[in-house]
Amino acid sequence: MKRKKLYALGSKHRYDFDLPLSEIISIGNHDYPVRFKEDDKYGTYLLWKNRRYPVEIVQSRQNKYEILFNYISYSFTIETPFSLKRKKFLNKELGKSDRENIVAPMPGKIIDVMVREGEEINSGDALLILEAMKMQNEIQSTVSGVVNAVNIRPGINVMKDDIMIEIKIS
């Protein structure tokens, strides 16, 4: 029997799933049993290695989802093999943009901005510090180029997906 596949596409990763879904996850070459549970005390959660990880679907629209897993937000799409091929084809047709927007991965407060407009940066360079849930997160550049615009300053609050910095790719 041939197994059907689905693909979850995040901003940087792709995950393959066989249908029907099982209660086993594979990480590297190891398989681990997991269970989804729901009760009045804890709500919906994933049980793995005797630990509870809260799970909540925040938003779903067509094949796009945003979930909170262990209080961290994840956005992804679910694709069939056909829709994945179509998506790849359409992305090739669009061509590459010469700009990259650095967006807020979660709501938070800007603590520090380490770059200025016109500054040359490399992939991996620290751009800013974003405080979220009492943790300071260093946001790094994913591309090399020149900072085209800085839309934030220390002390302001940003929402998820707000454009913080615009980079012209070199």
Give 43-83 pLDDT, tens digit per residue: 888 888 888 989 888 888 888 888 888 888 888 888 888 88
Give yes or no for residue 18 having a pLDDT over 80.
no
Per-residue pLDDT at 20: 67
Q: Length of the chain in residues, anyone?
A: 170
Per-residue pLDDT at 73: 81
Per-residue pLDDT at 112: 96
As a whole number of angstroms, the distance between CA 140 and CA 152 comes to 15
Give yes or no for residue 124 having a pLDDT over 80.
yes
Instruction: Choose the most confident range, by mean pLDDT, from 21-25, 26-30, 59-63, 103-107.
Output: 103-107
Eight-class DSSP state of 98? S
Average confidence score pLDDT of the chain: 85
Query: What phi and psi, each to the nearest 5 degrees, are found at residue 85?
Result: -60, -40
Topology, domain 4-85: Tumour Suppressor Smad4 (2.60.200)
Report the sign of the C-alpha dihedral through residues 71, 142, 65, 59, in that order.
Answer: positive
Picking from 7-16, 45-54, 73-82, 101-110, which range would have the lowest pLDDT averaged per residue?
7-16
- In the three-class reduction of DSSP (H, G, I as helix; E, B as strand; rest coil), residue 85 is classed as helix
* CATH 2.40.50.100 for domain 99-169: yes
What residue spans define the domains of the chain?
4-85, 99-169
Stated pTM of the model: 0.48
Could you tell me which residues are beta bridge partners of residue 78?
A: 8
Give yes or no for residue 1 having a pLDDT over 70.
no
As a whole number of angstroms, the distance between CA 83 and CA 130 comes to 35
Give yes or no for residue 93 having a pLDDT over 70.
no
Give yes or no for residue 94 having a pLDDT over 70.
no
